């Protein structure tokens, strides 16, 4: 047996569509519908953008950086800091036997000043072997690139934003200035050298594209006076999201002498902040949906008041309290259901075409709406997840159904004799 009868839907629809002079609430229902649509669409869009931002950010981290870094436990003044060739060979040999291991390589890392003509900026130099550079996914297969990574041994590789800052093209030279230079009787003389740019890459993350420079590890050791030593050993995994398990497996052998630092630890504070912000935004936007749905209550209360005579007649004709309750419940819930479906549809379409919408808005206003220097990523990220869409549906429908119960119950409890007393 059906919970709702056909005639109950017919009566509810007639009440919703009736004009104001007939005791209807069509205008109020329209406002309530628009409010629910906008609230639900905003909820879907914001959740998709925040999930997309987190996903994109994590993908850039694991695609352009090592998944685990191994440092020596030494003081900065220790003359024996860094890894020699024997240390590197021994550690990599131990790591090869571990499950989920992909690659490991020594790395020289330093900050210097880069300049070209009258332009200069700070950069991070990564001294790395040619074969190891090819293992870094987003550098080997970037979004955009110039030159060839095969020529890396003959010069350096730099990010696209850095190349743009310094007005550098392929086969141009870049001057690197290190303040930690040669000591003399006149003080420390900065170390300066010039390198040819053989490869320009773009990974789609501003802080990497604007500051990173890769050079052959032998050149980096010479330039920074590392004497055949490396600052750290970088480890790449087949599945970077299982880095904690991998770290625990090697901790017994390496943790006593070396410090192990995973990409999750490196970005934990930022990712936790993103997760907290997403949860808070979901709560706030759910309250916006609730506020929009409150118009349903005001409309139904007015409808019950205006239709008191009709309720009395329907009860006199034999309709039960439960039937009256269902009629007015349908009136309110129809607004919520239609608004939720339209809101989810609009939200999903907005997310799917978000980059086209961004381009259109920027074209109309003549300015950028997405500052990549602040947000790190070069475009608005958005990712639709079925669980987020379903959650938005459940929240909106639950609010709509819940707030409809009170005015519907009031209509059902209306005494028919009292309603027809003055008729």
Q: What is the per-residue DSSP string for 220-277?
A: HHHHTT-SS-BSEEEEEESSGGGHHHHHHHHHHHHTTTEEEEEHHHHHHHHHHHHHHH
Tell me, yes or no, whether 172 and 97 share the same domain.
yes
Phi and psi at 129, nearest 5°, equal -75, 155
Tell me, yes or no, whether 12 and 130 share the same domain.
no
pLDDT category of residue 296 using cuts at 50, 70 and 90: confident
- Least-confidence region, from 96-100, 242-246, 340-344, 402-406: 402-406
pLDDT category of residue 6 using cuts at 50, 70 and 90: confident
- Does residue 140 fall inside a structural domain? yes
**Boundary residue ending a domain (194, 225, 256):** 256
pLDDT in tens, 149-169: 888 989 999 999 999 999 999
- Does residue 42 fall inside a structural domain? yes
Tell me, yes or no, whether 246 and 117 share the same domain.
yes
Burial call 71-83: b when 16+ CB within 10 Å, e when fewer: ebeeeeeeeeebb
**Boundary residue ending a domain (256, 288, 310):** 256
- Does residue 262 fall inside a structural domain? no
- Does residue 223 fall inside a structural domain? yes
- Least-confidence region, from 30-39, 195-204, 306-315: 306-315
Q: What is the mean pLDDT of residues 224-233?
A: 87
**Boundary residue ending a domain (228, 256, 284):** 256
Q: How many Å apart are CA 325 and CA 330, to the nearest integer?
A: 9
Tell me, yes or no, whether 350 and 279 share the same domain.
yes
- Does residue 261 fall inside a structural domain? no
Instruction: Please report the sign of the dihedral spanned by the C-alpha atoms of residue 179, residue 180, residue 183, residue 185.
Output: positive
Q: How many Å apart are CA 114 and CA 178, to the nearest integer?
A: 9
Phi and psi at 37, nearest 5°, equal -60, -50
Q: How many Å apart are CA 163 and CA 170, to the nearest integer?
A: 9
pLDDT category of residue 80 using cuts at 50, 70 and 90: low
- Does residue 66 fall inside a structural domain? no
Point out which residues pair with 260 in neighbouring strands: 70
Q: Give the domain extent around 193.
A: 74-256
- Least-confidence region, from 49-63, 65-79, 84-98, 342-356: 65-79
- Does residue 67 fall inside a structural domain? no
CA atoms within 13 A on the CB side of 68: 30
Q: How many domains is the chain partitioned into structurally?
A: 2
Tell me, yes or no, whether 81 and 213 share the same domain.
yes
Burial call 119-158: b when 16+ CB within 10 Å, e when fewer: eeeebbbbbbbbebbbbbebbeebeebbbebebbeebbbb
Q: What is the mean pLDDT of residues 118-146?
A: 88
Tell me, yes or no, whether 243 and 102 share the same domain.
yes
Tell me, yes or no, whether 187 and 227 share the same domain.
yes
- Does residue 370 fall inside a structural domain? yes
Tell me, yes or no, whether 228 and 92 share the same domain.
yes
Tell me, yes or no, whether 336 and 286 share the same domain.
yes
Tell me, yes or no, whether 285 and 409 share the same domain.
yes
Q: How many Å apart are CA 228 and CA 218, to the nearest integer?
A: 8
Tell me, yes or no, whether 231 and 82 share the same domain.
yes
Tell me, yes or no, whether 130 and 213 share the same domain.
yes
Three-class SS state of 34? helix
pLDDT category of residue 186 using cuts at 50, 70 and 90: low
């Amino acid at each position: 047996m059906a919970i709702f009868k056909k005639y109950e839907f017919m009566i509810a629809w007639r009440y919703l569509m009736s004009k104001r002079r007939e005791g209807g609430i069509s205008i109020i229902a329209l406002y309530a519908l628009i409010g629910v649509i906008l609230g639900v669409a905003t909820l879907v869009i914001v959740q998709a953008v925040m999930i997309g931002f987190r996903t994109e950010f994590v993908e850039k981290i694991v695609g352009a950086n090592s998944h685990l870094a191994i440092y020596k436990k030494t003081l900065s003044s220790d003359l024996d800091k860094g890894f020699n060739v024997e240390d590197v060979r021994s550690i990599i040999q131990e790591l090869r036997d571990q499950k989920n291991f992909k690659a490991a390589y020594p790395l020289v890392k330093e900050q210097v000043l880069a300049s070209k003509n009258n332009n200069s900026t700070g950069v991070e130099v990564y001294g790395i072997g040619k074969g190891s550079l090819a293992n870094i996914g987003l550098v080997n297969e970037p979004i955009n690139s110039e030159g060839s990574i095969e020529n890396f041994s003959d010069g350096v590789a730099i990010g696209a934003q850095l190349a743009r800052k310094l007005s550098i093209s392929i086969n141009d030279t870049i001057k690197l200035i290190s303040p930690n230079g040669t000591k003399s009787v006149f003080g420390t003389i900065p170390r300066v050298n010039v390198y040819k740019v053989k490869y320009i890459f773009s990974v789609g993350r501003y802080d990497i594209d604007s500051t990173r420079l890769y050079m052959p590890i032998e050149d980096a050791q010479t330039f920074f006076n590392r004497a055949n030593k490396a600052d750290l050993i970088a480890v790449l995994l087949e599945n970077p999201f299982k880095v904690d398990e991998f770290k625990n497996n090697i901790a017994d052998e390496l943790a006593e002498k070396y410090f192990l630092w995973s990409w999750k630890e490196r970005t934990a504070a930022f990712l936790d902040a993103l997760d907290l912000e997403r949860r808070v935004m979901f709560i706030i936007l759910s309250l916006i949906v609730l506020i929009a749905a409150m118009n349903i209550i005001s409309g139904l209360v007015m409808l019950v008041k205006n239709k008191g005579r009709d309720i009395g007649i329907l009860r006199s004709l034999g309709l039960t309290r439960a039937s009256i309750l269902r009629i007015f419940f349908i009136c309110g819930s129809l607004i919520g259901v239609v608004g939720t479906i339209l809101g989810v549809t609009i939200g999903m379409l907005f997310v799917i075409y978000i980059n086209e919408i961004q381009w259109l808005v920027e074209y109309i206003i003549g300015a950028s709406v997405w500052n990549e220097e602040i947000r790190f990523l070069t475009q608005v990220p958005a990712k639709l997840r079925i669980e987020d869409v379903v959650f938005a549906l459940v929240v909106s429908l639950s609010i709509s159904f819940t707030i409809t119960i009170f005015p519907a119950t009031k209509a059902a409890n209306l005494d028919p004799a009292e309603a027809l007393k003055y008729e």
